[in-house]
Chains A and B, each alone.
Chain A
Amino acid sequence: MGLFKFSRSRSLWMMHFCTGCGAIEMPPTMTSRYDMERFGIIPMATPRQSDLLLVTGYLTVKTLKRVVRSYEQMAEPKYVIAFGSCTMRGGMYWDSYNTVKELDLYIPVDIYINGCMPRPEAIIDAFIKLRDMIDKGEANAWKNYRDNLDWYKQNQAKVFDINKWSAKI
């Protein structure tokens, strides 16, 4: 069992859901300058194969639907890292009519990275922190999602159900 846990934290396949400005910070993190493959983290093509979902910036209501769907396709155990102030409190889009302000209401987030935009060092730091959390058994947001599915679904329904409202504008 210990070996499985060890391998789980040392081999994270990630899917970067490249919304917002954060996508541009991923290439340096992956390539020669910062090289995240040394921690066993490699980009994967589909949510089914990946363990780690990166939400790299603000989400509109439309993209949130896709994020939730991708998140639900991932096999457990799964982890989420959210980038930038936009995912925490809306950031500079705090008063926008169609961005999602708090990602935590819709999918469970393990780690937030502060900043607008976080530098690759900060991203690597978050990866290491996630690795330690998995080792200690603290990265349990996916269990949270399963246990409180009703609450999450309610919150999701609240924002997804704006079709009638948006048709009026």
Chain B
Amino acid sequence: MAIIIKILEYILIAFGVAILGLIYGGIGRKITARIQNRYGPPFYQNILDVLKLFGKRNEASHGVMFDLGPVIALTGILTSLMFLPLGSSTPLISFEGDIFVLFYLLVVSPLGMALGAGEGANPNATIGIARGLTMMLGYELVLFVSIIPLMIHYDTASFYKLVQMQGTFPNWNFFPFFLSAFAGLIALQGMMGLQPFDVVVAPHEIASGPMVEYSGRFLGLLQLWHAIAVIVETGIIADAFLGNGGAGWFILKTFSLFMIVIMVAAIFPRFRIGQAVKFYWKYPLIIGLLGFLVLFIWR
């Protein structure tokens, strides 16, 4: 019985997170529009977009893997949601070492996408996939380097414990580990695929890259994946560096992080893929490595 309740609860959370992510996206579009001195769409625009996509017919399909790609992407992100503590609540699954599992699962979604788009055999998609996987080499490394000092400091590899141990406001990890937090924030920018790291989907250059052949319901699934990924990715940084707290605080924190990312994205052009990876392996990585020094000074 308890397991059924837990599953139902998880389904509710997943729905809530998806809708929350879509609303974040809509507000993000609005903010970008205000920065560009436009009026912008209503905040619920992304929800309408997804509904419309699910109402379409006659989508193009290029084979079984092509259809399964978006499903794998969505499954990957839903599974990583199970490991993420939303504020101070216990995640569905938590054990010693789940941070590594979470980070592995984050890679599943782009890989599913790559498998699906690969079967579309569109040259633009192939270029997009190559760029996406290369970009991953950049930001994943920085993300790991920014989280590892926390794991050493608290002597745990369980995300839930790590969040619990850091406590509330004045004890945020952000203050002692601000260098790592800064590196994590730059990694977040690339993880969300926003400018200056949006070379993966560059719409004017490679026609939205991996998504080029997708239409209708498949595209709708991909939009849902993006929406949930927004919460999961900002959630990782919020949990790791901005203390724990109730669900309301969690929403506030992830939203503030999302705002920072959107505002940076609104004013930057994009890097070439080589420049982006080089950038990641230089400045954020050095900042992240300097973050280790805090361990010796502060302890």
A102: interface (CB < 8 Å):
no
Please report the C-alpha to C-alpha distance between residue A51 and residue B53 in the assembled complex, in whole angstroms.
Answer: 10
Smallest CB separation, A6 vs chain B (Å) = 8
Inter-chain contact A49/B56, CB cutoff 8 Å: no
A7: interface (CB < 8 Å):
yes
Inter-chain contact B215/A49, CB cutoff 8 Å: yes
Inter-chain contact A76/B33, CB cutoff 8 Å: no
Q: List residues of chain A with CB within 8 A of the CB of B38.
A: 31-32, 35, 37-38
The residue among B37, B42, B49, B59 with the most chain A CB atoms within 10 A of its own CB is B49
Inter-chain contact B52/A48, CB cutoff 8 Å: no
Also in contact, A45 and B204, with CB within 8 A (given A3-B51, A75-B57, A77-B56): yes
B39: interface (CB < 8 Å):
yes
Please report the C-alpha to C-alpha distance between residue A110 and residue B284 in the assembled complex, in whole angstroms.
Answer: 52
Please report the C-alpha to C-alpha distance between residue A75 and residue B214 in the assembled complex, in whole angstroms.
Answer: 10
Range of interface residues on A (Cβ < 8 Å):
20 to 34
A144: interface (CB < 8 Å):
no
A97: interface (CB < 8 Å):
no
Inter-chain contact A46/B208, CB cutoff 8 Å: yes
Inter-chain contact A40/B41, CB cutoff 8 Å: yes
Q: List residues of chain A with CB within 8 A of the CB of B45.
A: 10-11, 40
The residue among B41, B47, B207 with the most chain A CB atoms within 10 A of its own CB is B41
Please report the C-alpha to C-alpha distance between residue A140 and residue B51 in the assembled complex, in whole angstroms.
Answer: 20
Please report the C-alpha to C-alpha distance between residue A32 and residue B266 in the assembled complex, in whole angstroms.
Answer: 14
Q: List residues of chain A with CB within 8 A of the CB of B47.
A: 7
Within A47-77, the residues touching B (CB, 8 Å) are 48-49, 51, 73-77
A165: interface (CB < 8 Å):
no
Closest-by-CB residue of A relative to B217 is A75
Q: List residues of chain B with CB within 8 A of the CB of A35.
A: 33, 38-40
Q: List residues of chain A with CB within 8 A of the CB of B33.
A: 35, 37-38
Within A1-44, the residues touching B (CB, 8 Å) are 3-4, 6-8, 10-11, 13, 31-32, 35, 37-40, 43-44
* Subset of 19 A-B contacts with CB under 8 Å: A3-B51, A4-B54, A4-B55, A7-B47, A7-B49, A7-B52, A7-B55, A32-B36, A37-B38, A37-B39, A38-B40, A40-B41, A40-B42, A48-B212, A49-B211, A49-B219, A51-B52, A75-B60, A76-B56
Known: A35-B33, A40-B42, A43-B203. 4 other contacts (CB 8 A): A3-B51, A7-B52, A38-B39, A48-B215
